[in-house]
Amino acid sequence: MNAIDTNTYITQIRTQSTNLLTTMHKLQALEEKRIALDLGTSLNQADVGGDNDGILITDCMAVLTTTLSALQTVLDAGHATNLHKIAIV
């Protein structure tokens, strides 16, 4: 790889690391909203359609609970530091 390719590659890693951090923050905000508004029990599967047709509410809630928790555990184990070190601010 030449210097331009190397810099492009490093920028891509930094961009995706920043995107991951941003996405985690957005998912955490959605989880807070789920809890505050009790959306885990009040959403109606019959209301899901359009681009979300075939997507189960329970699968989405699993992302906000189980999956988000697992990802947070990985980040808490020191990987958040790695991401923040190279994040584009």
Give the model confidence (pLDDT) of 68-88 as tens digits. 999 999 999 999 999 999 999
Is the confidence at residue 13, as pLDDT, over 90?
yes
- pTM, two decimals, is 0.88
Is the confidence at residue 46, as pLDDT, over 90?
yes
Mean pLDDT, residues 32-47: 96
Average pLDDT, the chain: 96
Is the confidence at residue 1, as pLDDT, over 90?
no
Can you give the pLDDT at residue 50? 97
Long-range contact set of residues 23-27: C-beta below 8 Å, sequence gap at least 24: 24/68, 24/71, 24/72, 24/75, 27/63, 27/64, 27/68
